[in-house]
Amino acid sequence: MIDLRTPGEIEDMKPAGRFVADVLRATSRAAAPGVNLLEIDSMAHRMITAAGAESCYIDYHPSFGASPFGKVICTSVNDAVLHGLPHDYRLKKGDLLSLDFAAKVNGWVADSAVSLVVGGDETPADRTLIDTVEKALARGIAAAQPGGRMGDISAAIGETAHAAGYSVNLQFGGHGVGTEMHGDPHVANDGRAGRGFPLKPGLVIAIEPWLMAGTDQIYTDDDGWTIRSADGSRSAHAEHTIAITADGPVVLTARG
């Protein structure tokens, strides 16, 4: 079922968006060489508790997960693509880290992700990969116009990726957001403009392009959660929760 939110409900979702943005800003700043992924998870957990928010991840157990996630933030490093389960690993200078975080505030959910190179020691290839997912996200958001179709968003993302020389995996993509983290409609990261679900004011979705440097094939790690590139190439992920309004898309998780 696809729910359309009233203007008042969209206003009510904004605190969740601001909180998610705050956590990603804080954890991104904390992601320095020598910092353990479990410390990043603990920081996010403390922020959830202090804000009176709820984790969307800790008890999350979809069909593709081996068990409840058990942590509150996804930390995907280097060839880890999505759903990186925080574990006892100390970040190194030059690691490519993606942070994906969702939380519920006052009954409403927001979901967002960002990628960065730890210690700022980035290669041109890493910079291009991160820039491409960020550009794909921006173009997907710009295409989320009332009166359009879901395929407009998917096509904008896919065209951006292909133009930069990347292939696109379609097994995971964006999704509806509301009182739960994942809902309809699915937002594919490639597609044809003018096709798919009509984009109407009140639709709230997470748009989330993710790319791997050398492949579009993935596998699940032994932890039952972390998804990695099949060829070991590095990956990047970007995501925002947006609301489609009569005046166009509004980014609820903007980090400023």
Ligand-binding site membership of 134 (annotated): no
* Beta carbons of 177 and 204 less than 8 angstroms apart: yes
Q: Check: pTM over 0.75? Answer yes or no.
A: yes
- The answer as to whether 121 is a domain residue is yes
- The answer as to whether 245 is a domain residue is yes
- The answer as to whether 2 is a domain residue is no
- The answer as to whether 256 is a domain residue is no
Ligand-binding site membership of 9 (annotated): no
**Alpha-carbon distances of 80 from 85, 96, 104, rounded to whole Å:** 10, 9, 25
Ligand-binding site membership of 182 (annotated): yes
CA dihedral 62, 129, 161, 235 (to 10 degrees): -30
Here the CATH number for the domain that contains residue 233 is: 3.90.230.10
Ligand-binding site membership of 3 (annotated): no
Ligand-binding site membership of 175 (annotated): yes
- The answer as to whether 216 is a domain residue is yes
- The answer as to whether 34 is a domain residue is yes
Domain tally, the chain? 1
For residue 40, give its domain range.
Answer: 7-251
Ligand-binding site membership of 83 (annotated): yes
Ligand-binding site membership of 190 (annotated): no
pLDDT digit of tens for each residue in the chain (256 aa)? 899 999 999 999 999 999 999 999 999 999 999 999 999 999 999 999 999 999 999 999 988 888 999 999 999 999 999 999 999 999 999 999 999 999 999 999 999 999 999 998 899 999 999 999 999 999 999 999 999 999 999 999 999 999 999 999 999 999 999 999 999 999 999 999 999 999 999 999 999 999 999 999 999 999 999 999 999 999 999 999 999 999 999 999 999 7
